Amino acid sequence: MKFLVILSALVALCAGHAIPTIPGDNSHYVEGESRYVWIPDGEGVPRLVDLEEPAVGSPLDARNGANNEYWLFTRRNPNNHQLLRINDNNSVRNSNYDRNRPLMVIVHGWKADGNTALNPLIRDALLHVGDNNVIVMDWRRAASSAYTTSVRDVPSVGQHLGNFVQWLINNHGGNWNNVHLIGFSLGAHIIGNAGRTVRRRIGRITGLDPAGPQWSDNPNVLNRNDGVYVENIHTDGGLLGIFNPIGDADFYPNGGTNRQPGCSLSGCSHGRAFEFFASSIIYNGFNGRRCANLDEARNNNCTGSNLRMGNTDFSKRGTGLYGLSTGSSWPF
């Protein structure tokens, strides 16, 4: 009997460390046990990640947040960005930044940059509904590293973002209550660290399927204390995204896990989070119903009070878990 127990443990260990052969297929993945996982890059191409690969270099080296770039878009320059530089007042004075308008910051995920699909999708939606200051933060230097190294650099990238927003408001005006940070995957944890850096003054934080691998016990994870109102949209929970609630309000469209409608692989389900959010900005059509517990959310069997998922309402408040159903294609 003892031999069988040991044999079962060895089989489980080997399975957890086996290299998956089908690109994008994460059906093997068990959080906290599996060594390998497929994570899509900014173009949606699956990259095989070794979660036991040592992080390279020092957190203080050239791959940290000092290399963040801040690209400003407004209705006066909706397609061509203006580069804002911290401690460079002329970069702001010579731009279209308007202290009287809301400030939205979009933060991409791993192996991506300021030009990858989620940025123009959300940027255009934000400019469609209002004459906003929209900043796309390009952190490609740190995001281009091995996944384990990029995870290690998240706090630095987030702290630099927080310092930039504070400098911008202190020197060029703005209202903390009208600041909205939006982050996808690793970007969700970055905006959490930015919120922590400015002592929870950010009016609204939206995490789009916050990254799951290496984050279940990570003290730098996005949490409800990082902003005035913190909302998350979970679409690939338990695989590429965190499943457990970590915000004031956590939404679980279609159960919050793979497979999302129209998807076959978890990478597609992961990306649904930013597509749902972009749609919510324009149409505000996702009506969440409060769930009594996480099982109700997983089974999409929630019948409680209503709260809209997503949108850009700075006065929005809500607590708890919310479930809803969506369609399989835009606008869902």
**Pick the catalytic residue: 34, 95, 150, 185?**
185
Find residue 306's DSSP bridge partners.
Answer: 289
Find residue 324's DSSP bridge partners.
Answer: 253
- Tell me the CA distances in angstroms from 201 to 176, 226, 295, one per residue in order: 6, 8, 33
How deeply is 297 buried, as exposed, middle or buried, from its count of CB atoms within 10 A (0-12, 13-18, 19+)?
Answer: buried
**Pick the catalytic residue: 180, 189, 234, 270?**
270
Pick left, alpha or beta for residue 200 (phi over 0 → left; psi -120 to 50 → alpha; otherwise beta).
left
Cα 60–85–150 angle (5° rounding)?
35
Asked if 238 and 31 touch (Cβ cutoff 8 Å), the reply is yes
Q: Which of 238, 229, 250 is nearest to 297 (CA)?
A: 250
Question: Which tokens belong to 126?
Answer: 């934000």
209 labelled catalytic = yes
Q: Report CA torsion sign: 232, 106, 146, 222.
A: negative
**Pick the catalytic residue: 209, 226, 236, 250?**
209
State the pairing for strand pair 69-74/306-308: unpaired
Asked if 281 and 124 touch (Cβ cutoff 8 Å), the reply is no
Catalytic residue numbers read 185, 209, 270
